[in-house]
Structure 1
């Protein structure tokens, strides 16, 4: 194993690397938060068909991750193994993202086919881009504290993207589209695609791969897969990743339904008046013109404004939580901190089940507390996966970074697909009807369960897995020290 530069990363390299996650998450966060809503309420695909599209497309895309991991580990260019993939996929990623959120006027079956093709292409290009991007963090430095720091930078960018998506996307789509959400989504996604391509290029030009396998290492793919199956920490992290992203897809995808259908419109209107939202709109209208914000003065717009404000509070709290992640992980170890705070965040979600239809403030406060607690865990998942790659090298004397990360992104895709599909499927089971003015009590109760008890229980199941994950702080230090000696 060789290195070609010191392990300390400059602030510029950390920022440059983090912009890749900003680019990817402008799309990824949109998938998590709005894909089910986009399919059912904007493109008017039946919930059962939307569920099938997200499940089948997501699973196929997830399987492609394993193929992509083997390809990336065997890529050899003058730019390294992983950086060139960020360059090669930047423009296709932007184009396909735009197509996936376009709404051509087809028949119902034509819409389902178009949604499936574009979603499948999007998850495949996401794998070809984000897998090498994630693996890059494992070869930029071998210093575990530097990895914790890099993860913190990275996930601040993730939170910026999440803020943009969960707080600004719907208002921008409504405002730019002048009430036509389909046209608004297309215009906003065009901007996101252009910004994303620029950010990917910055990541490519500002980063460097330093940890490389020995030139004589020629590991058969079968050996890589055998090493994975025997790697217990990897198996645990794979399962944990699936559970985490099932939860994020459930909670994120259902939030807009909770505000639109469960919380009463009168309570949300009163909430907006209490926080001075009308005066805020007046000041914006004076600057940008009344026409730009007229949609938010309509009676039925309160849920969109309230959900954006609640998501803003949650995202800001997450960013604050991220800043505590590194010092806590350095002191207590990634495993312990991840498990403690994942459990606490689950309890916050489960508390939502106690809210009445008038509890707007309660929802906003619980989302903010959940955001702060969950934010502490956000950088740790990917830093732990990089540790698993080190564990594999330490145990087997072979480096296979990308295939380990590919399996984790496989878990991400499976979790995201299952979470999105479960959301749409349960909505149909509960009797949700996108064209109904008022949902049935069964549908309303189902929506509440999908943002509270169900995702909270999945989070707790993930936290329990960490009792069997043996890479604690003491083992981290041992692995890092011994690998340094070998690489020298």
Structure 2
């Protein structure tokens, strides 16, 4: 059970690619699409993204409970990996479609399509991640699978970020809005292939035969669960950091550095750097565990991120080097914090006797989405009040200052706050090894008692 075949690991990673090809479009281009193509003001777009992501975040625990109460011959998470991508992708295409409507009706349309796309994405995302503790309890195998999934995520973002603009121009035939719609439609078809492959080539091995836990029992999982509460707070703040970078990155390249033509290069450089960091994460986790890996890399990432503020806009080369370094270091805690969430699944089972993969991993998605929701809202409102003017290459000094702050100093400060919180996380490498041994001993005892009965 502990040795996972390479085939299963790769197809699990493909499941992540299946959702994050489209998610890459949301993260990288949706804000710019809304302000510069769809025709929504920066503040209205930022608030829309914030409201939608807060909705997704609040929905996560409900989805987690639903998954934990699901019992099928395919397991409790896998059915949703098969079913949820279809409606998600339909509404994703509609999100990147510009309807011929009035201003108010268009805004309502944007809210409805994006919120529904986010709802089905959340189901898919929680289901895929909640499969992980049921596939293996081995720390090394988990880290490898998390890293693969995260790397496939970055592959999706890499493909989208580097090829999106040329493909939008090519597919649109002079119409940017048409180019967006056709690109997302193509990505949706590819995504279905990957998500379906993940379903048919993975298996939940840590199964449950007991009746689903009652709602009160699942609430008890969260009460006084210090490790889970700490990692949730840390991930929310770190996701705020990622969200700010995603929301402002293109604005920073276009208006502050005046290097819009280098956006594909920037996307390629930072995404590959993140992938390298994720690939290295397993080595760190194996040697020092998830907690120490996260603390070390969060502390290290503050340096290049803050230094970018002081680099002249004309020094593109040095700016890109610091961006790549920041992305490389930042890729490591993307893996180790997910590993910490998986550790809390085992911790919770040991302390309460309840295995709540779905509920606990729903808080992983909750944390990421809530943090990014706050970031989107903050970025949009700050840009609006700083005097940002869509498509104007001569932005005012206040707008340029805040675009630079949002890409450099503010993420560095946020990263430092996340570090302070993660230091409180109590489960180290040795603790998790003891938890795993105790859980195995309990399982053997339960199996023995069942045979004697």
TM over 0.5: yes
| Residue in structure 1 matched with residue 98 of structure 2 by the alignment | 103
Measured after TM superposition, the shift of residue 471 of structure 1 is 0.7
Match of 2:296 among 336, 340, 356: 340
Q: Structure 1 residue 243 and structure 2 residue 199: aligned? A: no
1:117 to 108, 112, 116: 112
Provide the aligned length of Structure 1 versus Structure 2.
Answer: 444
Aligned to 1:256: 250
How far has the Cα of 1:360 moved from its partner?
1.2
State the distance in 2 between where 1:352 and 1:105 align. Answer: 42
* Alpha-carbon distance between aligned partners in 2 of 1:178 and 1:263, rounded to the nearest angstrom: 28
Match of 1:195 among 190, 194, 197: 190
- Give the superposition deviation at 1:181: 2.4
Deviation at 1:314, TM superposition (A): 1.5
Q: Which moved more, 1:327-336 or 1:47-56?
A: 47-56
- Contact kept, 8 Å, 1:355 with 1:362, in 2: the verdict is yes
Question: Conserved in 2, the CA contact under 8 Å of 1:144 and 1:480?
Answer: no
Q: Could you tell me which residue of structure 2 aligns to residue 20 of structure 1?
A: 15
- The answer for the alignment partner of 2:275 in structure 1 is 319
- More moved, 25-34 vs 8-17: 25-34
Per-residue deviation, residues 423-478 of structure 1 (Å, max 9, x unmatched): 11110111111143411100011100111111121111111112110111110111
Deviates more, 1:440-449 or 1:53-62: 53-62
CA distance in 1, matches of 2:296, 2:163: 31
Q: 2:411 aligns with which of 428, 446, 455?
A: 455
Q: Identify the match of residue 159 of structure 2 among 148, 156, 164.
A: 164
**C-alpha deviation, 1:340, in angstroms:** 1.0
The residue that corresponds to 1:209 in the other structure is 204
Give the secondary structure class of the aligned counterpart of 2:354. coil
**For 1:142-157, what aligned pairs fall within 5 Å after superposition?**
142-157=137-152
Structure 2 distance, partners of 1:182, 1:454, is: 32
Structure 2: gaps (5+ residues): 445-453
* Change beyond 3 A, Cα 1:175–1:359: farther
- The alignment status of 1:423 with 2:379, answered yes or no, reads yes
Task: Determine if the alignment matches structure 1 residue 222 to structure 2 residue 207.
Answer: no
Shift of 1:185: 1.1
Match of 1:281 in 2: none
Tell me which residue corresponds to 1:379: 335
Is 2:68–2:76's contact at 8 Å kept on the other side of the alignment?
Answer: yes
Question: 1:465 & 1:366 partners in 2: Cα distance?
Answer: 25
Q: Which residue, out of 47, 52, 55, partners 1:57? A: 52
Q: Hey, what does 2:365 align to over in structure 1?
A: 409
Q: Which runs of 5+ in 1 are unaligned?
A: 1-5, 269-302
Could you say which residue in structure 2 is the equivalent of 1:69?
64
Cα root mean square deviation, aligned: 1.4
Question: The residue matched to 1:468 in structure 2 has which SS?
Answer: coil
Give the secondary structure class of the aligned counterpart of 2:2.
Answer: coil
**Aligned-partner Cα distance in 2 for 1:312–1:365:** 13
Q: For 2:225, which of 223, 228, 231 is the aligned residue? A: 231
Q: What is the aligned partner in structure 2 of residue 273 from structure 1? A: none
1:185 aligns with 2:141: no
The answer to whether the 8 Å contact 1:154/1:379 transfers is no
TM-aligned CA deviation for residue 217 of structure 1: 4.4
Judge conservation of contact 1:36–1:253 (CA < 8 Å) in 2.
yes
Q: TM-score, normalised by structure 1?
A: 0.88
1:362-384 deviation per Cα after TM superposition (whole angstroms, max 9, x unaligned): 22111111122112222212121
Deviation at 1:218, TM superposition (A): 4.2
Looking at structure 1, the residues matched to 165 and 295 of structure 2 have their Cα atoms a distance apart, in angstroms, of: 33
Paired position in structure 2 for 1:283? none
Equivalents in 1 of 2:348, 2:100: separation in Å?
50
